Amino acid sequence: MFRTRFAPSPTGPLHLGHAYSALLAFDMAQAAGGSFLLRIEDIDQSRARPEWEAQIYDDLHWLGIRWPEPVMRQSDRQPAYDAVLDQLWSRGLLYPCTCSRADIAAAASAPQEGAPLLGPDGMVYPGTCRESADRTGRRPAGTSLRLDMAMALEGIDRLHFTETGTRAGEITISAQHLITEVGDVVLARRDMGTSYHLSVVIDDAAQEITHVVRGEDLFEATAIHVLLQQLLDLPTAVYHHHRLIRDETGKRLAKRDDARAIRLYRDEGKSPDDIRVMVGL
Ligand code: GLU
């Protein structure tokens, strides 16, 4: 069985990079006689807009992509995220953290620490709150919760997943890599009550995704997802991280790159096949 998904955030227009990702996943599902699902990743309610969501449906339809209804929307899924956070909290694997980005930058670049280390989530957390935080009682609300990476990896030496994309092969990640180069990632953001990592893992499992197709900018984050799957007894999908679509200067396209919005190509009279050619499909 092959079941994949496209999981855009409705925080801006779909651009060529999104079109490539969605078309590739859709084509792979068709070729395998499997399913393609759509999931709206709208946990960041300060940035998600209904008009962007409507535009996503419209652009994907125009591209010839079809998916089963109803579409899963992460903003409906907080109870599922809370249940998992409660579980991780009661296992002592989470701790509250009150550090701001500036606090982390200051602590991480203290003279004895050298240059701040960058991980898949930005600066690797130097651990300021780890020892002093109170992990007893009920899970606190309204504060960020970090995963105690070293504790989460107790008894785990290595993690593995199968990759079929640009770095195809059996991928092994050492526990040491996760501890020193990824660190205590935030699993519940103060302002959201969840995080990309937590939600994506719970929802890929809930949607029974067997193949995750997404850009290679998320390759490093996959180690976090595989660890969470192991901690939560969830299956690990096959991952397919694809090349990124870049502009003529080699810079990868960002959501803000409105000049390349699919909508604008449509307005110029381009066809879905033109888009396929532009992204190399
Ligand atoms: N919402 C994420 C994004 O737009 C999706 C990441 C994923 O496919 O796991 O980048």
Beta pairing, strands 238-242 & 211-215: parallel
Q: Do 216 and 85 belong to one domain?
A: yes
DSSP-assigned beta bridge partners for residue 241: 214
Give the tokens for residue 135. 């992990």
Residue 112 has a pLDDT of 65
Q: Do 136 and 270 belong to one domain?
A: no
Beta pairing, strands 211-215 & 122-123: unpaired
Instruction: Check whether 111 has a pLDDT greater than 90.
Output: no
**Cα dihedral 263, 73, 234, 67 sign:** negative
Q: Do 235 and 263 belong to one domain?
A: no
105: exposed, middle or buried (C-beta count within 10 Å: 0-12, 13-18, 19+)?
middle
Q: Do 133 and 112 belong to one domain?
A: yes
Mean pLDDT of the chain: 94
pLDDT in tens, 46-56: 999 999 999 99
pLDDT in tens, 187-229: 999 999 999 999 999 999 999 999 999 999 999 999 999 999 9
User: Residue 264: which pLDDT band, with cuts at 50, 70 and 90?
Assistant: very high
Count: domains in the chain:
2
107 or 216, greater pLDDT: 216
What are the backbone dihedrals phi and psi of residue 245, each rounded to the nearest 5 degrees, phi first?
-85, 130
Would the pTM count as exceeding 0.85? yes
Q: Do 49 and 93 belong to one domain?
A: no
CB 249 within 8 A of CB 40: no
What CA–CA distance (Å, rounded) separates 142 from 193?
A: 7
268 C-alpha vs ligand 1 centroid, how far in Å?
A: 28
Per DSSP, 244 falls in state: P
Percent of the chain with pLDDT over 70: 95
What CA–CA distance (Å, rounded) separates 72 from 78?
A: 12
Q: Do 141 and 35 belong to one domain?
A: no
**CATH code, domain carrying 29:** 3.40.50.620
Comparing 40-44, 56-60, 119-123, 202-206, the range with the smallest average pLDDT is 119-123
Instruction: Check whether 92 has a pLDDT greater than 90.
Output: yes
Beta pairing, strands 144-147 & 186-188: antiparallel
DSSP-assigned beta bridge partners for residue 171: 161
Percent of the chain with pLDDT over 90: 87
What CA–CA distance (Å, rounded) separates 25 from 5?
A: 7
Whether the ω angle into residue 70 lies within 30 degrees of 0, i.e. cis, is: yes
For the CA of 5, the nearest atom of ligand 1: 8
- The reply to whether ligand 1 has any atom less than 6 angstroms from the CB of 7 is yes
Instruction: Check whether 76 has a pLDDT greater than 80.
Output: yes
Instruction: Check whether 251 has a pLDDT greater than 80.
Output: no
pLDDT in tens, 144-170: 999 999 999 999 999 999 999 999 999
Q: Do 192 and 105 belong to one domain?
A: yes
What CA–CA distance (Å, rounded) separates 119 from 97?
A: 18
What CA–CA distance (Å, rounded) separates 204 from 194?
A: 15
User: Residue 110: which pLDDT band, with cuts at 50, 70 and 90?
Assistant: confident
Q: Do 207 and 261 belong to one domain?
A: no
CB 189 within 8 A of CB 142: no
What CA–CA distance (Å, rounded) separates 91 from 95?
A: 11
Instruction: Check whether 25 has a pLDDT greater than 70.
Output: yes
Write out the residue range of the structural domain in which residue 65 sits.
Answer: 1-75+245-281
Q: Do 150 and 232 belong to one domain?
A: yes
24 C-alpha vs ligand 1 centroid, how far in Å?
A: 14
Instruction: Check whether 176 has a pLDDT greater than 90.
Output: yes
For the CA of 6, the nearest atom of ligand 1: 8
The long-range contacts involving 24-31, CB below 8 angstroms and separated by at least 24 positions, are 24/213, 24/242, 24/281, 25/213, 26/65, 27/281, 28/2, 28/4, 28/211, 28/213, 28/240, 29/2, 29/3, 29/4
Q: Do 152 and 201 belong to one domain?
A: yes
Per DSSP, 136 falls in state: -
89-95 average pLDDT score = 98
Q: Do 104 and 216 belong to one domain?
A: yes
- The reply to whether ligand 1 has any atom less than 6 angstroms from the CB of 200 is yes
CB 133 within 8 A of CB 96: yes
262-270 average pLDDT score = 96
Q: Do 112 and 210 belong to one domain?
A: yes
39 C-alpha vs ligand 1 centroid, how far in Å?
A: 9
Residue 106 has a pLDDT of 87
Q: How many CB atoms lie within 10 A of CB 225?
A: 23
132 C-alpha vs ligand 1 centroid, how far in Å?
A: 33
What are the backbone dihedrals phi and psi of residue 205, each rounded to the nearest 5 degrees, phi first?
-70, -45
Given ligand 1 and candidates 194, 196, 242, which is best to mutate, with the most ligand atoms within 8 Å of its CB?
196
Instruction: Check whether 255 has a pLDDT greater than 60.
Output: no
